[in-house]
Amino acid sequence: MSIQHFDVFVIGTGTAGKGVAKDCAKAGMKVAIADNRMYGGVCPNRGCDPKKVLVGATEVIQLANNLKGKGITGIPEINWQDLQRFKSTFTNAIPAATEKDLKKEGIELYHQSPKFLDENTLSVEGKTVTADKIVIATGQKPMELKIPGRAHLFTSEDFLHQTELPEEIIFIGAGYIGMEFAHIAARCGAKVTVLEFGDRPLASFEEDIVGYLTKASEALGINFIFNAEASGVEKLRTNYRVSYKKDGKTETIKARAIFNTAGRVPSIGALDLEKGNVAFEKNGISVNQYLQNTTNKSVYACGDVSASGALPLTPTSSQESRVVSINILKQNSLKMDFPPVPSVVFTLPQLAAIGLTEKQAIKQGYDIVVEYKSVPQWFNAKRIAEDVYAYKTIVDKKRNLILGAHIIGAGAGEMINLFVLAMCGKLTTENLKAMIFAYPTWGNDIKGMV
């Protein structure tokens, strides 16, 4: 049987991969795409979108609790099964719709993870194919905790799809996934413990702002065990028990379910990259400024799997997809240039950030002005009886430009987008203050933050 040849072969059908495949197909190239899981990738199937649906129900609980006795007389209850059925209305149609969309562009679909045979040759579904350009967009997967009994650990995907919510839950890892799921579970009635290797949650975020979230989480009933290294898991009759090392001692805690939320790593283990002369590193596929592999010039990588230095977020995946498409179609004509990228932790209250933390700004030698305040008395927080609302902004004193913004509050996720506009547009604090925003809105508050 003859070997089929493609102009472009894309591995991965998430935001990054399907974007490149469609761009190249529309340009008249012969394109194939492959995935060993449901088409559509992590975000719409088993990541940010279904998570946000679950968060939506807990927002109702939070607001009702805030306003109880202030016009609200009863607190609604969450029915987990009904909530999961509602969530499925967002996720169930994604794989088929993605495949239909790709087929419409004339793209050939494969349902297996390919393996490299050489620099331009892949083995997929028992067939050998060649391609002028190969794009790796396989994303990330949960990091395996190499501890005894790790087979008993559940993943973030398991949490999103569980039919019943366990009464007691342990999350190993207090990154954004662990924190978001801990808040969902606690508001849905579970007893939650978070086991964290470091001395606080969300290590990459502004420490002072994270402090407010830690206290709010504890007030919600979440129990934190910091400076604790998980060392083993065992199954009991009805529970699971996790052992952890803390202060030189081994201690244990048990729950109905234990979830590994310790982080995610590039999904590249099944690709046989060495046979394709594809360089890779801890953070993923090694790439140059064109998102082209550093050793195999026929290979590009985009999205969470590329070691480009970008945050592993859906918006950055879209941006990298665009860069790869242009560089395939126009022969490396566009360098990857990352604008300021916002990040949001969808706990309640939300935590949002963009740019440098105070420590980073000082380390980079900036002469800075820092404004750091807790402002629950501001109208937008006060009207919903939200007692956690704080911010820290970092401004370059010399140029009067915003270097970083960090917010915790009910509207933080939307507010941070206005800081994106300000930073990308290089607006000074005077420019920002001179603007007129609708009042009373959360967006209007940013004028008081600089």
One domain for residues 275 and 191:
no
Do 274 and 135 reside in the same domain of the chain? yes
Q: Is residue 336 part of a domain?
A: no
User: In CATH, what number is assigned to the domain containing residue 429?
Assistant: 3.30.390.30
Does residue 11 lie within any of the structural domains? yes
Domain containing residue 234: CATH number: 3.50.50.60
The first and second tokens of residue 33, run together, are 């795409």
- Of 260, 232, 244, 336, nearest to 292 by C-alpha is 336
78 in a structural domain: no
Confidence (pLDDT) at 338: 86
Interatomic CA distance for residues 78 and 183, integer angstroms: 14
pLDDT band at 1; cut points 50, 70, 90? low
Whether residue 438 is found in the same domain as residue 309 = no
Range of the domain at 302: 4-51+85-142+265-329
Kindly state whether residues 10 and 138 are assigned to the same domain: yes
Number of domains in the chain: 3
Domain final position from 208, 241, 262: 262
* CB burial readout 232-263, b (16+ within 10 A) else e: bbeeeeebbbbbbeeeeeeeebebbbbbbbbb
Spell out the long-range contacts of 336-340 with Cβ–Cβ below 8 A and sequence spacing 24 or more.
336/289, 336/290, 336/291, 336/308, 336/310, 338/308, 338/309, 338/310, 339/420, 339/423, 339/424, 340/420, 340/423, 340/424
Strands 257-260 and 168-172: parallel
Could you tell me if 361 and 229 lie in one domain? no
One domain for residues 222 and 201 = yes
- Name beta bridge partners: 215: none
- Would you state the pLDDT for residue 146? 95
Q: Is the pLDDT of residue 121 over 70?
A: yes
DSSP code for 238: S
Separation between Cα atoms, residue 40 and residue 35, nearest integer Å: 9
Q: Is the pLDDT of residue 183 over 70?
A: yes
Residue 240 belongs to some domain of the structure: yes
262, 291, 309: which is the final residue of a domain?
Answer: 262
- 195 and 109 within one domain: no
pLDDT at residue number 372: 98
Check if the beta carbon of residue 338 is closer than 8 Å to that of residue 309. Answer: yes
Q: Is 162 in the same domain as 222?
A: yes
316 falls within a domain:
yes
Of 244, 262, 280, the one marking the end of a domain is 262
Does residue 63 lie in a domain region?
no
Question: Which of 258, 245, 58, 76 minimizes the C-alpha distance to 156?
Answer: 258
Domain match, 280 and 133 both: yes
Q: Give the C-alpha distances (Å, rounded to integers) separating 254 from 141, 156, 194, 244.
A: 25, 19, 12, 11
- pLDDT confidence bin for 2, thresholds 50/70/90: confident
* Residue 69: how many other CB atoms lie within 10 Å: 8
293 within 8 A of 301, measured Cβ to Cβ: yes
Indicate whether 92 belongs to any domain.
yes
Give me the chain's average pLDDT, please: 97
For the record, the structure tokens of 95 come out as: 């794989």
- pTM: predicted TM-score of the whole model, two decimal places: 0.95
Same domain, 297 and 273: yes
Same domain, 232 and 286: no
pLDDT in tens, 411-433: 999 999 999 999 999 999 999 99
Pick the closest to residue 304 from 265, 358, 263, 273 (CA basis).
265
Residues 231 and 129 in one domain: no
CA 141, CA 271: separation in Å to the nearest integer?
14
Residues 309-356 pLDDT 10s:
999 999 999 999 999 999 999 999 999 998 999 999 999 999 999 999
Question: Is 380 within 8 Å of 441 (Cβ atoms)?
Answer: yes
Contact 16, 310 (CB under 8 A): no
Give pLDDT tens digits for 20-71: 999 999 999 999 999 999 999 999 999 999 999 999 999 999 999 999 999 9
* Assigned domain for 58 exists: no
- CA 107, CA 367: separation in Å to the nearest integer? 53
What tokens appear for 186 in the block? 């606690």
The token pair at 233 is 């898991």
The residue to which tokens 């970083």 are assigned: 404
Q: What is the pLDDT of residues 357-383, one digit of tens each?
A: 999 999 999 999 999 999 999 999 999
Distance (Å, rounded) from C-alpha 332 to C-alpha 323?
9
pLDDT of residue 298: 98
Q: Which residues contact 325 (CB under 8 A, 6 or more apart)?
A: 19, 20, 23, 24
Q: Inform me whether the pLDDT recorded for 5 exceeds 80.
A: yes
> What backbone phi and psi angles, to 5 degrees, belong to 258?
-125, 125
- 446 pLDDT above the threshold of 80: yes
